[in-house]
């Protein structure tokens, strides 16, 4: 988001097209102030995000070449596989990252891949390298009134009644090794319920087994919304939460964009790359031996004790 914001500010009249996986079409609809068009990426050999649809690749490249873009920007990563692919789009110029020692497509527009630092700042390093003024490193996520309406329909009413606040717990993550055990989330949920907060469990359809496992260990009633929210209704739910407790996964960035306090369970070196920049509002816990429930409760209690400035 910060990189796209800088591009739009620098080139307000440009037509900016996002190339991405199918889910990103909804992303473009939500960020119409930054993006104009979407092109679905059919995958490519060597890229893990989706199995390549080989029969579609030639047509996709032909269509991109026919559009004659002025600039194709590679914001995918270090570039060994992606850079040659982006060159096949046929834009007049390309920009992006490359690994030292690999072929650099254009010394004036390709930056050596930063080996360290937050992902947001790595991408902004390219923006600065291209000579564009930065527009802040904060995230953003518009929430529409329609999102809030659909959330009320989903819940059969407002998320809270009689002034009772709520917290969201997200026990899933796309990589199993990045998941804190559901029984530990259950203990945190019980503590939150004991503080008078309603507990909402969130996740994808594939993560429903994890939310059910967490719910089964909670003594207090919980609302399990796994598989029942899209990006908009999830954002509307998180927007009104007092707190989010989650693994290091996408919902963490939703909370960061909406400035909702969170406790994030992380693994390995992920915090160095993916942690929210606001360390006061978002507490990232990461230990090789695992994070204890008491640590999470301690950070949650501190975040709930008063407004975070």
- pLDDT on residue 271: 86
Helix (H, G, I), strand (E, B) or coil at 133: coil
- pLDDT on residue 162: 60
Residue with tokens 């004659």: 68
- CATH match of 145-304 with 3.40.50.2000: yes
- pLDDT on residue 272: 86
Tokens of 23: 């889910």
- pLDDT on residue 306: 81
Asked whether 139 and 256 are in contact (CB, 8 A), the reply is yes
Phi, psi of 150 (to 5 degrees): -65, -30
Q: Quick one: angle between helices 182-194 and 293-304, nearest 10?
A: 40
Residue with tokens 């834009």: 91
- pLDDT on residue 273: 87
Calpha distance 260→190 (Å, rounded)? 20
Contacts of 160 (CB under 8 A, 6+ apart): 166, 198, 240
Helix (H, G, I), strand (E, B) or coil at 37: strand
Calpha distance 227→225 (Å, rounded)? 6
Calpha distance 260→242 (Å, rounded)? 7
Q: Residue 256 burial by CB count (10 A; 0-12/13-18/19+): exposed, middle or buried? A: buried
Residues of the chain below pLDDT 70: 161-163, 268-269, 308-309
- pLDDT on residue 128: 97
Calpha distance 284→217 (Å, rounded)? 24
Contacts of 69 (CB under 8 A, 6+ apart): 17, 89, 90, 91, 92
Residues forming beta bridges with residue 199, ordered by sequence position: 167, 222
- Please name which of 243, 239, 207, 240 lies closest in space to residue 225, comparing C-alpha atoms: 207
Same CATH topology for 2-129 and 145-304: the answer is yes
- pLDDT on residue 289: 83
User: CA 233, 238, 242, 245 torsion: positive or negative?
Assistant: positive
CATH code of domain 2-129: 3.40.50
Domain ranges in the chain? 2-129, 145-304
Q: Which residues of 199-209 are buried (b: 16+ CB within 10 A; e: fewer)?
A: bbbbbbeebbe
How far is C-alpha 53 from the chain's CA centre? 25
Decide the pairing of beta strands 222-224 and 262-265: unpaired
């Amino acid at each position: 988001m910060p990189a796209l914001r800088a591009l739009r500010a620098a080139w307000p009249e440009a037509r900016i097209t996002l190339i991405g996986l199918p889910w990103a079409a909804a992303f473009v609809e939500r960020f119409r102030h930054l993006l104009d068009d979407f092109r679905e990426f059919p995958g490519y050999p060597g890229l893990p995000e989706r199995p390549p649809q080989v029969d579609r690749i030639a047509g996709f490249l032909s269509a991109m070449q026919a559009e004659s873009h002025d600039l194709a920007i590679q914001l995918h990563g270090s570039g060994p596989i992606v850079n040659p692919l982006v060159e096949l789009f046929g834009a007049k110029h390309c920009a992006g990252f490359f690994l030292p020692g690999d072929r650099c497509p254009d010394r004036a527009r390709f930056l050596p891949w930063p080996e360290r630092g937050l992902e947001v700042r790595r991408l902004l390093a390219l923006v600065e390298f291209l000579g564009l003024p930065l527009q802040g490193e904060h995230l953003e996520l518009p929430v529409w009134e329609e999102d809030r309406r659909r959330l009320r329909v989903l819940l059969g009413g407002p998320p809270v009644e009689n002034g009772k606040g709520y917290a969201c717990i997200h026990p899933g993550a796309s990589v199993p090794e990045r998941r804190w055990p559901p029984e530990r989330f259950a203990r945190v949920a019980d503590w939150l319920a004991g503080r008078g907060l309603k507990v909402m469990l969130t996740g994808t359809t594939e993560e429903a087994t994890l939310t059910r496992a967490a719910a089964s260990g909670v003594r207090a009633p919980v609302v399990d919304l796994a598989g029942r929210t899209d990006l908009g209704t999830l954002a509307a739910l998180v927007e009104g939460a007092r707190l989010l407790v989650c693994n290091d996964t996408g919902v963490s960035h939703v909370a960061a964009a909406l400035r909702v306090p969170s406790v994030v369970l992380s693994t390995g070196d992920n915090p160095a790359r993916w942690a929210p920049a606001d360390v006061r509002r978002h507490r990232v816990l990461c230990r090789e031996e695992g994070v204890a429930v008491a640590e999470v409760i301690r950070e949650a209690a501190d975040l709930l004790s008063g407004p975070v400035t």
